[in-house]
Structure 1
Amino acid sequence: TMLKQICLLILSLSVGGASVVQLNDANVKSVLAASKFSFVNFYADWCHFSQALSPIIEEVGKKLKQEFPDDSQLIVGKVDCDREVNLAQSFKVNKYPTMKVFRFGQMQKREYRGQRSVEAISEFIRTQLAETVIRIEKSESEPTDAVPIPLEKDQGGIVGFFTSNNSTGFVEFSRVASMLRDDCKFISVVGIKGEPEKIVFQKGPDVGSRISLPKPGEDSLKEFVMSQCVPLVREITFQNAEELTEEGLPFFILFYPNDDSAIVDSFKSVVERHLSHHRRSVNFLTGQGAVFSHPLHHLGKTVSDLPVVAIDSFKHMYVFPHDVRDSLQNHPERFSDFVADLQSGKLHREFHHGPDPTTAASPQHVEVPPEQPGEKDHAPRTDQAKQQPPSHATSPPKSVFKNLSPSRNRYTILRDEL
């Protein structure tokens, strides 16, 4: 044990004062866990993108070490992925360079994908270190439920009521707020007396909308925040498409007319009521048809065909075979069947072999060419055209959303994750 303590002391001394910490299997857990925020560059020396980024990361480390000298606040680190193969695999690094963010040792789902400059990366880190929780001091005479909560109409937030800023509940609340700052607004009311501390989700200024945290604890709070604040259906844009594709889940997407908010609401309602149990296996998305006119074109559709629902599995694309408006209003079970057919392999099977004999209406489908030239694993049967009448909606050759994954102009891609 004495030897272990000496090793840890030497390790802490080697980390302390370093502008950019070289991370490895021996120190990564202790270093990252001890810091509120860590920015880590995963690189390979032979990768020219990594070579260009390396001096930038070193300069960021030197610059921010002067602003945030305490390692418990900030660590700028780096991992040589050729030397630390297991470490790179454990953090799911599939491209070089990859810049990941950690809070209290926990990897965050969003990577840094911004401009690769000293100024841009430094400003990003400063923003991430800014205070997350909006703090409100409650007066002694003010009833707890009468404290005004700064939430706009229809804006959701997590509100904690605590005795002091030093209470265990507040410390846990602050940690979770830091880790999930991108997913929700966090507000604390400090100074309650004669009543237990509590955490609620509140929508807008209406106290009647509050939903209480079912049980205390950091893990319970994380689950509560995700269930209340993270939307089941998200809007896809060209700005977030790369991030969404890296989640690796098939897209179930509604392309809608720009001025038709009603159909978006209807789609969200159907997904929440009938498809919410698929949230860990499917990404439910909406996208403005005018913005995604190019993907629509590849589906054999135009904005005049909207609304359109499709699944992109990143190998094939499948167009929902029924009328979208009628299905949303009268036959929501059709969407459940559509997802079930994807997950059972029926859509893939029908792509290769044509419609099942008992299928009245099968989804229109699109082949995504295999990644390696000459591979024919996903070539359709040559007699498929005889089985199905030709249609302009079945002609597009590629999955557009797979093409929105990380660009080879910015990264060295190790393997295709999707």
Structure 2
Amino acid sequence: MRAATLLSVLGAVAAASASDVADLTASTFADTANQPLALIEFFAPWCGHCKALAPHYEEAATILKKDNIPIAKVDCTVETDLCSSQGVNGYPTLKVFRKGVPTDYAGTRKTDGIVSYMKKQALPAVSEVTASNHDEFKTADKVVLVAYADESDKSTQQTFRDFADIYRDEYLFGLSTDAAAIAAAGVTPPAVVMYKTFDEGRNDLEGSIDDESLLAFAKEHSVPLLDEISPDNFAMYAEAGLPLAYIFVPATDSKREEIVKAIEPVAREHKGKINFVWIDANKFADHAKSLNLQEPTWPAFAIQNIQEMTKFPLDQSKTVDHATVSAFVNDFAAGKISPSIKSQKVPAVQDEPVFVLVADEFDKVVAEDKDLFVEFYAPWCGHCKKLKPTWDSLGERYANVKDKLTVAKFDATENDVPASAGFRISGFPTIKFKAAGSSEWVSYEGDRSLDSFVEFLEANATNDINEPDNLEAELDGETEVKSGRHDEL
């Protein structure tokens, strides 16, 4: 009896500890990601937000199990290469996968929200359109994509359905094989029509329809010719993959409509190659400053290449009118304008404990055959102020090996990180390391103590930064004998 009771208790414990969330590794990831639909969390065990999500994620996995929707997670402290390949740069990151293709999860992080979102994702992405609902459906959203195909054309129908599965969160999709609806649309199938509430109101794609033509068509025509930009629609422009041209003008300016209208022909000329927007200069003056428009003088104009992290401000002494903007944009498109790089002056003397790095010297310093350890900071940042004495001590510790290692600081509020660096700064302090002879920057994620910085450098520096540099230090016994590089921190 006791044995039976013990087995029963153990079975209950095992059942209670069993998880419906699959733990994925590099070798098992593809099996789940390639399912028709799956939700995968990329997390770190120490992450507070991940811990808060965990019970809701577990409950949702159990509920969704009966719907055959896999819920899984990846420990990014273990599967670092996998998480890097998926573009994970924060925790937790949730992605919805459909046959290997990821999209960002856009639901809440509570049990009910996760379940509701994933069940909706499991529904068909394409609605059936007939003559009876055609007029209503094509005006049901700001952007509606309707495919018209012959009943026998299964290839076009499947291509459109597959595309809709991937972009279901961005557009409303409909499919019609109804001859009366096709006649009402005035198209010859196969065709796709984009119905929209702005600009020309309609765009047509006819002929051979495949994934590439659908994506190019959707991206080109779903973005308004010249609309107001705000936090609500910024992501749409950022994901479009095109340079973004801003007209900075106060929303209250009596001439705002006139100014914007004058630039519309320039936007139309470059449609599909550069997106144009206007932005409230009073509300988003800091964004103007981030594009190196330094004076609060409006209107102003600038182009930002989000993908390449470059910015091209129009000289603020010039008038923002059709002729000036047209000439500037044409020169930009022709590659005749160099990106603007904000930089402090190069220090005449480097007399601080750490090297003062500025944008104008960034590429030069990076190219030197030295290990490079850089703190990107903001003068107003409390954490940066707290770190300063430790960072100075680190510079002093390696003062005798400056020919092998540069410990530097970079004021990211007064200097732009050049596009050549390949990264952007989104928080302070950000600490980056680049080994001598390498082009790869490594983010420092350890604690901010002197001992941890030293241990990190000893493990990652290419140059021998621990070699005794003077006889006096060696005789005083201040030089420690090191055991060599560490495999891990």
Residue in 2 that maps onto 1:54: 54
Tell me, yes or no, if structure 1 residue 321 matches structure 2 residue 315.
yes
Deviations 1:153-174 (A, max 9, x none): 9954322123449933223212
Larger C-alpha radius of gyration, 1 or 2? Answer: 2
Residue in 2 that maps onto 1:367: none
- Across the aligned residues of Structure 1 and Structure 2, the Cα RMSD in angstroms comes to 4.8
For 1:216, which of 200, 209, 215 is the aligned residue? 209
Residue in 2 that maps onto 1:33: 34
Contact kept? 1:232, 1:276, Cα under 8 Å: no
CA distance in 2, matches of 1:80, 1:248: 30
Q: Secondary structure at the match of 2:221?
A: helix
Residue in 2 that maps onto 1:118: 111
CA distance in 1, matches of 2:82, 2:240: 19
Tell me, yes or no, if structure 1 residue 201 matches structure 2 residue 193.
yes
In structure 2, runs of 5+ residues without a counterpart are: 1-17, 347-353, 363-412, 417-423, 429-441, 445-489
Contact kept? 2:159, 2:211, Cα under 8 Å: yes
CA distance in 2, matches of 1:124, 1:398: 42
Contact kept? 1:157, 1:186, Cα under 8 Å: yes
1:119-138 equivalent positions in 2, closer than 5 A? 119-138=112-131
Moved more, 85-94 or 321-330: 321-330
For 1:334, which of 292, 309, 328 is the aligned residue? 328
Q: Once the 2 structures are TM-superposed, how far is the Cα of residue 135 of structure 1 from its aligned partner?
A: 1.7
Contact kept? 2:95, 2:105, Cα under 8 Å: yes
Contact kept? 1:100, 1:107, Cα under 8 Å: yes
Q: Secondary structure at the match of 2:20?
A: coil
Q: Once the 2 structures are TM-superposed, how far is the Cα of residue 332 of structure 1 from its aligned partner?
A: 0.2
Q: How many residues are aligned here?
A: 339
Q: Secondary structure at the match of 1:137?
A: coil
CA distance in 2, matches of 1:204, 1:245: 20
CA distance in 2, matches of 1:155, 1:243: 13
For 1:376, which of 350, 357, 373 is the aligned residue? 357
Contact kept? 2:343, 2:360, Cα under 8 Å: no
Moved more, 237-246 or 160-169: 237-246
CA distance in 2, matches of 1:153, 1:230: 17
CA distance in 2, matches of 1:268, 1:127: 39
Structure 1 segments of 4+ aligned residues over 6 angstroms from their partners:
193-196, 242-250, 313-317, 404-408
Q: Once the 2 structures are TM-superposed, how far is the Cα of residue 316 of structure 1 from its aligned partner?
A: 7.9
For 2:266, which of 267, 270, 287 is the aligned residue? 270
| Counterparts in 2 of 1:212 and 1:241: CA distance versus 1, 3 Å | closer
CA distance in 1, matches of 2:269, 2:72: 44
Residue in 1 that maps onto 2:458: none
Tell me, yes or no, if structure 1 residue 188 matches structure 2 residue 189.
no
CA distance in 2, matches of 1:219, 1:336: 27
Q: Name the aligned partner's letter for residue 330 of structure 2.
A: S
Q: Name the aligned partner's letter for residue 82 of structure 2.
A: L
Contact kept? 1:243, 1:405, Cα under 8 Å: no
Query: Larger RCO: Structure 1 or Structure 2 (Cα < 8 Å, ≥ 6 residues apart)?
Result: 1
Contact kept? 1:183, 1:230, Cα under 8 Å: no
Residue in 1 that maps onto 2:97: 102
| Counterparts in 2 of 1:57 and 1:148: CA distance versus 1, 3 Å | same
Contact kept? 1:161, 1:188, Cα under 8 Å: yes
Deviations 1:311-366 (A, max 9, x none): 5678886531156764434550212335666x864534x96899xxxxxxxxxxxx
Residue in 2 that maps onto 1:151: 138
TM-score for both structures, normalised by structure 2: 0.55
Q: Once the 2 structures are TM-superposed, how far is the Cα of residue 147 of structure 1 from its aligned partner?
A: 5.6
Contact kept? 2:190, 2:208, Cα under 8 Å: no
Deviations 1:222-256 (A, max 9, x none): 33323332457675423565787799987643223
Q: Secondary structure at the match of 1:170?
A: helix
Q: Secondary structure at the match of 1:26?
A: coil
Q: Once the 2 structures are TM-superposed, how far is the Cα of residue 376 of structure 1 from its aligned partner?
A: 1.0
CA distance in 2, matches of 1:83, 1:338: 44
